[in-house]
C-alpha cells in the first residue's frame, strides 16, 4: 500500500511542470519522503509522553539548554523568515542583516539575562499568564485574544508564501503543498504536543543548515570570494548595498530608506525586544527548560546561532545580485510580467547550484523551515487558547485530561484556521501586508507593558491596561494616518525619504513611548499593589535565586558577554 | 527496555541516510553525467557533502544509540 502511495506521489511530483524552473527526480522525492516519515514517527513516538497538561503544553519542563535554545531560534525560522529575508537582501543589500543582528541579538541576551528569571520563577505557562499575575484579567484577555488571532493568521500567511514559491519554482500544486504540510504539522503537534514540536524544530534547524549551507559556499566560489562579490555588487548597484551602518546617516543614502536612529531605537529597542521577549511563540520554547540556568542559557545559545543565520539567508540574496543572469522584481510586477520575484531568490539559487539529491535536500530545508514556523504558531496558539482563554474565562474547573484534549483539538483547529487564511490570502494578496502591519501594532506596546511590570514596582493594574490600550491605538492611528495621507510619512518616520520598513520602525517606537508614558502617568494616579502580591514578579521585591556555578563557563552572563563581543566585532567588520 | 530515544539520535540517523543517498548519487553521476548539470558541477559537491553528512550522522547515531535501561 505504502509503495503505491510513494509511486503515485513520485509520479505526481516528478511530472515536469509546465512553467516551473526545475523538477525533482526520484532521489529528491525520496529525500523529502524520508523527512516526512521521520517527523510523523517522532509525533507517534512521543504521544505517550504528553498525557498531562504540563507535558503537552510545556514539554514537562524537561528540555536542556541546547534543545530549548535551538528550538527557540528554529520556531522563528519560518518560510517568510527564510525566503522573505533572502529576497530582502536581494532588494536592499546587506542592510537586511540588521534584522538578524541588532534586530535580534541584544534582545535575546536581554531575555536570557534580565527577563527570564521572572518568567521562570513565577512558573507561568504563558506571557498572558504573566500579565494575569501582574495586571489582572483585563490585560491577560487583551493580550491572549490578540495573540491567538494573530498567530493563526501569520501561520496561514507563512503557509501561503511557501506554497506560492513551491508552485513557481517546482510547479507544485498550491492545494497539494498547503494540505500535505499542514496535515503533517497537525499530526505531530497534536500527538506529541510541545515536546514533539520542539524535537522536530531541532531536527528542522539542523536540516535547514545542511540544505541551505551549500548555496553560500558554492556561490562564494562562483563569485570569486567575498572581496570580488562586493566589487561586483558595487559596480552594478553601488557600494551602499554592502555596508551595514556607514550609509544610514541619511534616509536617502541607502536602498532601505532608513536612518540609524530607526534601527537602534525602533528596531533594536522596541520591535526586536518586543518580539523576542514577549511573543509567546518563542518564549514558550524557553519556558520548557529543565531549570533556571538552562532557561537563561537557551536564548544565549539561540543568539549564537541566530548571528550565523545571515550566512544562509542574507548571503544567497547578495550572491544572487552578482551571479544571476537575470533580474528579479517585486511580487506585483512578477505576477504581471511572468518574471521571478525577490521572494524566490533562495530556491532559485538552490536550483542554480544543486543537482539531484542536493536539490531534494534544499527543498526539504525550505519545507522544514515552514513546518518549524507553523508548529511554533499552532503549539503556542493551543496553549494560549487553553490556558488563557478557555481555562481562564470559559471553563475554569475542568480536569487536567480535559485541558489536554482541548489542546489537541485546538492544534487541529488552529491548523484549519491557518489553511483558511492561506486561501483567503490567495484571493486577496493585500491582506498579507495588513496582517503583518497588524502584528506590529500589538508587539511594541506589549513590550512596554511587560518591561515596566517586571522592572518597576509602582506600575499598577490600571496603568498597565490603559498603557497597553493607548499604545495599540497609537500604532493603529499612525498606520491609518500614513495610509490615507502618504505625506504624513515626513512626521511619522521623520523624513519624506523614508520607506516602508523605516515607517514600521518609527511607528513602533512612538507607540511604545505612548504606552510607557500613559502607564507611568496612570500608575502614579492609581493605588499600587502591595509588595506581598508582587513576589517573584518584579525586580527588587525578592532576591532572585542564587545560581551556584563552579566555573566561569557555567555562568550565562559570561557567554552573553562572549556573544556581545562577537556581535560588536561583526558590526565593525561589515560597517 | 531501552532509554528514551534522544533527538540527537533521530538527527544522526537522518543525516546518515541522507549522506549515503547523496554521496551515492554523486558517485553515480561520475559515470552517468547529468544532461543539465548545475553550475560548478565539476566540484562534485554531492560526493563530499554527502560523505561529510554520512560521517557526522554515523557518529551521532553511534554516540546516542538508545542504551538498555538499568533497573
What DSSP string runs through A110-167?
Answer: HIIIIIHHHHHHTT-SSHHHHHHHHH-HHHHHHHHHHHHHHHHHHHHHHHHHHHHHHH
Position A78 scores a pLDDT of: 77
Q: Which residues of A touch B14 (CB under 8 A)?
A: 34-35, 38, 203, 207
Q: Do B18 and A210 touch (CB under 8 A)?
A: yes
Tell me the residue range of the domain where B24 lies: 7-63
Contacts of A533 (CB under 8 A, 6+ apart): none
**Nearest-CA neighbor of A322 among A227, A257, A255?**
A227
Q: How many angstroms separate the CA atoms of A425 and A430, rounded?
A: 8
Mean pLDDT of A254-277: 89
A3 three-state secondary structure: helix
A63 three-state secondary structure: strand
Q: Is the pLDDT of residue A323 over 80?
A: yes
CB A287, CB A119: distance < 8 Å:
yes
CB A342, CB A329: distance < 8 Å:
yes
Q: Do A42 and B10 touch (CB under 8 A)?
A: yes
Could you tell me the end-to-end alpha-carbon distance of chain B, in angstroms, rounded to an integer?
9
Residue B13 maps to a domain: yes
Residue B31 maps to a domain: yes
Q: Which residue of B has its CA nearest to A63?
A: B7
Q: Is the pLDDT of residue A20 over 70?
A: no
B42 three-state secondary structure: helix
Q: Do A31 and B5 touch (CB under 8 A)?
A: no
Please name each of the domains of chain A with its CATH number: 21-540+552-573 (1.20.1730.10)
Q: Name which residue leads in pLDDT, A252 or A316.
A: A316
Residue B2 maps to a domain: no
Q: Which residues of A touch B39 (CB under 8 A)?
A: 218, 222, 352-353
Q: Do B14 and A354 touch (CB under 8 A)?
A: no
The three-point CA angle A359-A372-A278 to 5° equals: 145
Residue A410 dihedral angles phi and psi, to the nearest 5°: -65, -35
- Please tell me the least confidently modeled range out of A218-232, A304-318, A416-430, A503-517: A416-430
Mean pLDDT of A519-538: 89
Q: Which residues of B touch A221 (CB under 8 A)?
A: 40, 43
CB A255, CB A393: distance < 8 Å:
no
Q: Tell whether B37 lies on the interface with A, counting CB pairs under 8 A.
A: yes
Contacts of A192 (CB under 8 A, 6+ apart): A42, A43, A44, A45, A46, A47, A49, A50, A199
Residue B50 maps to a domain: yes
Q: Name which residue leads in pLDDT, A458 or A239.
A: A458
- Average pLDDT of chain A? 86
Q: Which residues of A touch B38 (CB under 8 A)?
A: 351-355
CB B57, CB B14: distance < 8 Å:
yes
Q: Is the pLDDT of residue A58 over 90?
A: no
Residue A482 dihedral angles phi and psi, to the nearest 5°: -70, -35
Position A309 scores a pLDDT of: 94
Q: How many angstroms separate the CA atoms of A454 and A15, rounded?
A: 57
Q: Tell whether B25 lies on the interface with A, counting CB pairs under 8 A.
A: yes
Position A12 scores a pLDDT of: 41
Q: How far is A355 from chain B (nearest CA, A)?
A: 6
- Residue A371 pLDDT grade (very low, low, confident, very high; cuts 50, 70, 90): confident
Residue B55 maps to a domain: yes
Q: Is the pLDDT of residue A518 over 90?
A: yes
Number of neighbouring beta carbons within 10 Å of residue B65: 14
**What single DSSP character describes residue A361?**
H
Give me the residue label for grid cell 519542563. Answer: A61
Maximum alpha-carbon separation in chain A = 71
- Residue A18 pLDDT grade (very low, low, confident, very high; cuts 50, 70, 90): very low
Alpha-carbon separation of residue A412 from A409, A415, A436 (angstroms): 5, 5, 23
**Nearest-CA neighbor of B22 among A207, A204, A74?**
A207
Q: Which pTM was predicted?
A: 0.88
Position A316 scores a pLDDT of: 95
A227-248 pLDDT tens trace: 999 999 998 888 889 999 999 9
Classify each residue of A543-570 as buried b or exposed e, where b means 16 or more C-beta atoms within 10 Å of its C-beta. eeeeeeeeeeeebbeebbeebeeebeeb
Position A337 scores a pLDDT of: 84
CB A306, CB A112: distance < 8 Å:
no
Q: How far is B10 from chain A (nearest CA, A)?
A: 8
Position A6 scores a pLDDT of: 39
A145-204 pLDDT tens trace: 888 888 888 888 888 878 877 887 778 888 888 888 889 999 999 988 888 888 888 988
Q: Which bin fits A93, alpha (ψ -120 to 50), beta or left (φ > 0)? A: left
Residue A347 CB-density burial (10 A; 0-12 exposed, 13-18 middle, 19+ buried): buried
Q: How far is B45 from chain A (nearest CA, A)?
A: 8
Q: Tell whether B27 lies on the interface with A, counting CB pairs under 8 A.
A: no
Of A38, A210, A352, the CB nearest to B39: A352
Q: How many angstroms separate the CA atoms of A258 and A547, rounded?
A: 42
Position A435 scores a pLDDT of: 60
Q: How many domains does chain B have?
A: 1
CB half-sphere exposure, A211, CA atoms < 13 A: 30
Position A432 scores a pLDDT of: 56
> What string of H, E and C letters represents the secondary structure of A541-554?
CCCCCCCCCCCHHH
- Residue A30 pLDDT grade (very low, low, confident, very high; cuts 50, 70, 90): very high
Mean pLDDT of A515-536: 90
Position A13 scores a pLDDT of: 42
- Residue A75 pLDDT grade (very low, low, confident, very high; cuts 50, 70, 90): confident
Tens place of pLDDT per residue across chain B (71 aa): 567 789 999 999 999 999 999 999 999 999 998 888 899 999 999 999 999 999 999 999 999 998 876 65
Q: Is the pLDDT of residue A522 over 90?
A: yes
Residue B68 maps to a domain: no
Residue A237 dihedral angles phi and psi, to the nearest 5°: -125, -25
Q: Which residue of B has its CA nearest to A223?
A: B40
Mean pLDDT of A548-560: 84
CB A450, CB A537: distance < 8 Å:
no
Contacts of A24 (CB under 8 A, 6+ apart): A13, A14, A32, A170, A356, A359, A360, A363
Percent of chain A at pLDDT > 90 equals: 34
CB A340, CB A326: distance < 8 Å:
yes
Q: Which of B1, B18, B50, B54 to mutate to test the interface with A (most CBs of A within 10 A)?
A: B18
Residue B71 maps to a domain: no
Q: How many angstroms separate the CA atoms of A212 and A312, rounded?
A: 6
Q: Tell whether B62 lies on the interface with A, counting CB pairs under 8 A.
A: no
Outline where DSSP puts E strands in A135-245.
Answer: none
Q: How many angstroms separate the CA atoms of B56 and B59, rounded?
A: 5
ipTM: 0.93
Q: Tell whether B35 lies on the interface with A, counting CB pairs under 8 A.
A: no
Q: How many angstroms separate the CA atoms of A388 and A386, rounded?
A: 6
Mean pLDDT of A478-501: 86
CB A353, CB B40: distance < 8 Å:
yes
Q: Return the H-helix or E-strand segment holding A53.
A: helix A53-58
Q: Return the H-helix or E-strand segment holding A288.
A: none
Residue B70 maps to a domain: no
B68 three-state secondary structure: strand
- Residue A89 pLDDT grade (very low, low, confident, very high; cuts 50, 70, 90): very high
Mean pLDDT of A106-125: 87
Amino acid at each position: 500500500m505504502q509503495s503505491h502511495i510513494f509511486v503515485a506521489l513520485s509520479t505526481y511530483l516528478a511530472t515536469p511542470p509546465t512553467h516551473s524552473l526545475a523538477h525533482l527526480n526520484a532521489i529528491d522525492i525520496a529525500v523529502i519522503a524520508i523527512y516526512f516519515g521521520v517527523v510523523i514517527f517522532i509525533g507517534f513516538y512521543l504521544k505517550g509522553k504528553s498525557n498531562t497538561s504540563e507535558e503537552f503544553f510545556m514539554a514537562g519542563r524537561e528540555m536542556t539548554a541546547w534543545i530549548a535554545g535551538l528550538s527557540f531560534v528554529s520556531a522563528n525560522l519560518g518560510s517568510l523568515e527564510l525566503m522573505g529575508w533572502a529576497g530582502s537582501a536581494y532588494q536592499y543589500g546587506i542592510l537586511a542583516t540588521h534584522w538578524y543582528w541588532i534586530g535580534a541579538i541584544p534582545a535575546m541576551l536581554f531575555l536570557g539575562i534580565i527577563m527570564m528569571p521572572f518568567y521562570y520563577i513565577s512558573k507561568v505557562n504563558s506571557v498572558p499568564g504573566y500579565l494575569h499575575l501582574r495586571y489582572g484579567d483585563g490585560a491577560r484577555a487583551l493580550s491572549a485574544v490578540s495573540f491567538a488571532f494573530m498567530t493563526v493568521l501569520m501561520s496561514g500567511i507563512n503557509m501561503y508564501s511557501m506554497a506560492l514559491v513551491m508552485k513557481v519554482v517546482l510547479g507544485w500544486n498550491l492545494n497539494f503543498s498547503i494540505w500535505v504540510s499542514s496535515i503533517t504539522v497537525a499530526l505531530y503537534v497534536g500527538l506529541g504536543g510541545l515536546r514533539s514540536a520542539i524535537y522536530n524544530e531541532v531536527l528542522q534547524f539542523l536540516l535547514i543548515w545542511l540544505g541551505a549551507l551549500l548555496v553560500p559556499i558554492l556561490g562564494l566560489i562562483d563569485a570569486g570570494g567575498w572581496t570580488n562579490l562586493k566589487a561586483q555588487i558595487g559596480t552594478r548597484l553601488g557600494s551602499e548595498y554592502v555596508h551595514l551602518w556607514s550609509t544610514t546617516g541619511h534616509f536617502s543614502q541607502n536602498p532601505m530608506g532608513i536612518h540609524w536612529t530607526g534601527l537602534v531605537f525602533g528596531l533594536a529597542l522596541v520591535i526586536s525586544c518586543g518580539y523576542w521577549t514577549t511573543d509567546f511563540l518563542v518564549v514558550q520554547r524557553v519556558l520548557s527548560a529543565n531549570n533556571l540556568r538552562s532557561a537563561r542559557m537557551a536564548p544565549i545559545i539561540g543568539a549564537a546561532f541566530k548571528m550565523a543565520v545571515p550566512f544562509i539567508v542574507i548571503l544567497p540574496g547578495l550572491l544572487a545580485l552578482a551571479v544571476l543572469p537575470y533580474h528579479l522584481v517585486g511580487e506585483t510586477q512578477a505576477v504581471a510580467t511572468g518574471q521571478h520575484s525577490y521572494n524566490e531568490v533562495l530556491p532559485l539559487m538552490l536550483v542554480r547550484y544543486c543537482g539531484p539529491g542536493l536539490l531534494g535536500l534544499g527543498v526539504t530545508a525550505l519545507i522544514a523551515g515552514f513546518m518549524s514556523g507553523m508548529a511554533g504558531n499552532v503549539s503556542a496558539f493551543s496553549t494560549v487558547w487553553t490556558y488563557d482563554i478557555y481555562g481562564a474565562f470559559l471553563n475554569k474547573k475542568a480536569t487536567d485530561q480535559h485541558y489536554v484534549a482541548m489542546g489537541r483539538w485546538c492544534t487541529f483547529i488552529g491548523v484549519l484556521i491557518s489553511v483558511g487564511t492561506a486561501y483567503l490570502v490567495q484571493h486577496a494578496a493585500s491582506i498579507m501586508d495588513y496582517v503583518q502591519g497588524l502584528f506590529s501594532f500589538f508587539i511594541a506596546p506589549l513590550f512596554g507593558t511587560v518591561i515596566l511590570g517586571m522592572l518597576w514596582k509602582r506600575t499598577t493594574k490600571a496603568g498597565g491596561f490603559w498603557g497597553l490600550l493607548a499604545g495599540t491605538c497609537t500604532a493603529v492611528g499612525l498606520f491609518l494616518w500614513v495610509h490615507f495621507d502618504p505625506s504624513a510619512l515626513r512626521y511619522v518616520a521623520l523624513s519624506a525619504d523614508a520607506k516602508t520598513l523605516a515607517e514600521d520602525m518609527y511607528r513602533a517606537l512612538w507607540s511604545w513611548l505612548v504606552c510607557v508614558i500613559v502607564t507611568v502617568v496612570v500608575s502614579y494616579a492609581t493605588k499600587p499593589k502591595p509588595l506581598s502580591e508582587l513576589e517573584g514578579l518584579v525586580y527588587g521585591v525578592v532576591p532572585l535565586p542564587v545560581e551556584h556555578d563552579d566555573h566561569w563557563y557555567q555562568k550565562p552572563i559570561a557567554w552573553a558577554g562572549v556573544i556581545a563581543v562577537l556581535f560588536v566585532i561583526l558590526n565593525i567588520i561589515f560597517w | 527496555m531501552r532509554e528514551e530515544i534522544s533527538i540527537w539520535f533521530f538527527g544522526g540517523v537522518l543525516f546518515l541516510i541522507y549522506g549515503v543517498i547523496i554521496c551515492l548519487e554523486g558517485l553515480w553521476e561520475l559515470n552517468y553525467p547529468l544532461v543539465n548539470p548545475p553550475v560548478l558541477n565539476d566540484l562534485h559537491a554531492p560526493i563530499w557533502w554527502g560523505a561529510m553528512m554520512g560521517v557526522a550522522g554515523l557518529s551521532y547515531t553511534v554516540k546516542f544509540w538508545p542504551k538498555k535501561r538499568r533497573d
